[in-house]
A and B are shown apart, each in its own frame.
Chain A
């Protein structure tokens, strides 16, 4: 079909076609070549990739070998160190071996010396051996001699055995006798040791034998007692005779009362128990009589009676004490209640009289004025009296709580109560070295209040009161007072003033209830204050002593147990 083309074209056309065909052919050739080249390149390419893969494998192999070599190098390094260490060790060991070698050489030497010594010793032993054999020979001779002697001794021993048996028999006999003696001795010792006077009496009433107690109770020695009349030694001889006669008749008596007479006159009440004693054939030989000292039993009986009496008295006293406690309590509450009830109307008298004085005095005559004033004065005295009585009844109350207290605090508080009068009188109160005391606080405060109050009250006119209070712990034995226990510790409190004091003969009176040493007009007071003080000291199991001379001040010494 391709070749049919020129038929339809110009003349020139075949050339072009030829050219184009040629080119086409060329191009076909060229394409074939290119295909070949291409195939060649593809093949080369494949080859190269194979090679690359092989190279990669080779590479990995090399890397692995490298690692292995490094490991091996590490191991070699360790092995090297180990070898170096072993080397050192071997060096040390060599040194030790050198030393050991020297030691062995030394020991070797020593052993050689010893061998030499042993050789010498051996020789010595050989010599001794010889000697011993000689001695053995001698001993054999001696042995023969001894065997002969032995025979002789055996003969002698047989003779001795016979003699021994004889002695043993004699010994047995002696022991029997000794035992009999011991029993006899023992019986006698028992008799002698008895505290009861024992005696044997003949049918004629003569003493046959006595024990130590009989000698003691009569004061007569044994040899002088024996063979004398039994009845001689009693306060009632006929009764004694009657006694032993009854024994001979009946065979015994029991608890027969007699009184033994000592030669110095002492009497011992006894009870006799006696029986007859007989020989082997039953003949009565005499009377055995034992006396029991009943002095103590008698005393005991008396004591029992006395004890019962005392117990009874005690009971009575306890009943009485219980009654007294009740009565006391009743009295306390009576005092308390009556004081309270007395105060009620009194207060009104005071108020009414005071209101009279305040508002109505001008309307009264001079006499009326005086009466009202006196009434008011009396009422206020009664007020003080009631307050004091109330205080007194409180100090007798049974409620007592002891506590350890600083006396300074009490004194300070009392000073505050008296601040006004202290200032007014220029009083000085010194309290040094105050010790702690075991006290009932409110009572002791009352005590201080009353004593300091007294000192302030009984001061000398125009002289500033000076009160000195001291305290210390003292032993009872150091104080001259029979009411104090010598071994006990006491808190000693002293209160001294420079006031008017009192005459020495009043030193006990001043503590009595309602006792006044001074004129009521001059010095106010109810006469209860010091009674309260004394009561408080007694509540503390203590003692109070007052000392004074007129116009020379007063001192109050208080001693209360320190614990």
Chain B
């Protein structure tokens, strides 16, 4: 059972993600956060062991956006080694560069079909998380 976190302010996307997790072949336990602030407080009270396998992070969120969360995670000793995968609607150079600079492990565009979303989650869960700093800063394509 892999512990995973998702920070996503969009209810539809949260629903898609939960459904997709159920379809995925890898068993997981999901901690949902409706925004960045909630994510950080969920991570603050974190006592479980082992630490989360991965945090899926949306960028555009109220109260605390994905960039701020990522920065805080990387600056907090007990969180800094947790892999973070950015899940955003679009991949523009500015966002991609900035998130990799802040220490993201991967960047994924939100898939446009449910099947692709399942596949994306499965791909991330089986990926070997690359050690920081990253050499290849590319947008992970799910086809």
A residues contacting B by CB (< 8 A) are: 336, 339-340, 343-344, 347-348, 350-351, 354-355, 358, 380, 383, 390
The minimal Cβ–Cβ distance linking A375 to chain B, given in whole angstroms, is 14
- Which of A336, A344, A358 interacts with B89 by CB under 8 Å? A344
- Which of A336, A344, A351 interacts with B113 by CB under 8 Å? A351
Contacts of B90 in A (CB 8 A): 339-340, 343, 390
In the assembled complex, B45 has its CB within 8 A of some CB on chain A: no
- Of all A-B residue pairs in the complex, the 10 with the closest CB atoms, nearest first, are A350-B112, A354-B113, A340-B90, A347-B112, A344-B89, A348-B12, A355-B114, A343-B89, A351-B114, A354-B114
Inter-chain contact B89/A340, CB cutoff 8 Å: yes
The minimal Cβ–Cβ distance linking B58 to chain A, given in whole angstroms, is 11
Name the residue in A339, A343, A351 with the highest tally of chain B Cβ atoms < 10 Å from its Cβ: A351
A-B contact count (CB 8 A): 30
Name the residue in B13, B90, B110, B117 with the highest tally of chain A Cβ atoms < 10 Å from its Cβ: B90
In the assembled complex, B138 has its CB within 8 A of some CB on chain A: no
CA distance A344 to B16 in the complex (A): 13
CA distance A390 to B89 in the complex (A): 13
Q: Give the residue name and chain of the B residue nearest to A387 (CB).
A: B90
CA distance A339 to B92 in the complex (A): 11
Inter-chain contact A336/B112, CB cutoff 8 Å: no
Inter-chain contact B89/A351, CB cutoff 8 Å: no
| 5 cross-chain CB contacts under 8 A | A348-B12, A351-B112, A351-B117, A355-B114, A358-B114
Contacts of A343 in B (CB 8 A): 89-90
Range, interface on chain B: 10 to 19
Q: Give the residue name and chain of the A residue nearest to B20 (CB).
A: A351
Interface residues of B in 60-97 (CB under 8 A from A): 89-90, 92
Q: Give the residue name and chain of the A residue nearest to B88 (CB).
A: A340
CA distance A383 to B10 in the complex (A): 20
CA distance A155 to B129 in the complex (A): 133
Contacts of B10 in A (CB 8 A): 344
Chain A binding surface, main DSSP class: helix
Interface residues of B in 1-36 (CB under 8 A from A): 10, 12-13, 16
CA distance A256 to B71 in the complex (A): 84
The minimal Cβ–Cβ distance linking A360 to chain B, given in whole angstroms, is 13
- Which of A347, A354, A355 interacts with B110 by CB under 8 Å? A347
Q: Give the residue name and chain of the B residue nearest to A355 (CB).
A: B114
The minimal Cβ–Cβ distance linking A313 to chain B, given in whole angstroms, is 38
Inter-chain contact A350/B92, CB cutoff 8 Å: no
Contacts of B117 in A (CB 8 A): 351
CA distance A388 to B18 in the complex (A): 31
Inter-chain contact A350/B89, CB cutoff 8 Å: no
Contacts of B114 in A (CB 8 A): 351, 354-355, 358
Q: Give the residue name and chain of the B residue nearest to A341 (CB).
A: B89
The minimal Cβ–Cβ distance linking B96 to chain A, given in whole angstroms, is 13
CB 8 Å contact bits of B90-124 with A (1 = contact, 0 = none): 10100000000000000000101111010000000
Contacts of A358 in B (CB 8 A): 114-115
Q: Give the residue name and chain of the A residue nearest to B92 (CB).
A: A336
The minimal Cβ–Cβ distance linking A355 to chain B, given in whole angstroms, is 5
Q: Give the residue name and chain of the B residue nearest to A351 (CB).
A: B114
Inter-chain contact A347/B89, CB cutoff 8 Å: yes
CA distance A390 to B92 in the complex (A): 9
Contacts of B112 in A (CB 8 A): 347, 350-351, 380, 383
The minimal Cβ–Cβ distance linking B130 to chain A, given in whole angstroms, is 22
CA distance A152 to B31 in the complex (A): 148
Q: Give the residue name and chain of the B residue nearest to A379 (CB).
A: B112
Q: Give the residue name and chain of the A residue nearest to B19 (CB).
A: A355
CA distance A383 to B89 in the complex (A): 12
Inter-chain contact A351/B92, CB cutoff 8 Å: no
CA distance A480 to B10 in the complex (A): 57
Q: Give the residue name and chain of the A residue nearest to B143 (CB).
A: A420
The minimal Cβ–Cβ distance linking B10 to chain A, given in whole angstroms, is 8
Contacts of B113 in A (CB 8 A): 350-351, 354
The minimal Cβ–Cβ distance linking B44 to chain A, given in whole angstroms, is 29
Contacts of A347 in B (CB 8 A): 89, 110, 112
New A-B contacts (12) at CB < 8 Å, excluding given A351-B114, A358-B114, A390-B90? A336-B92, A340-B90, A344-B10, A347-B110, A347-B112, A348-B13, A350-B112, A350-B113, A351-B16, A351-B112, A351-B117, A354-B113
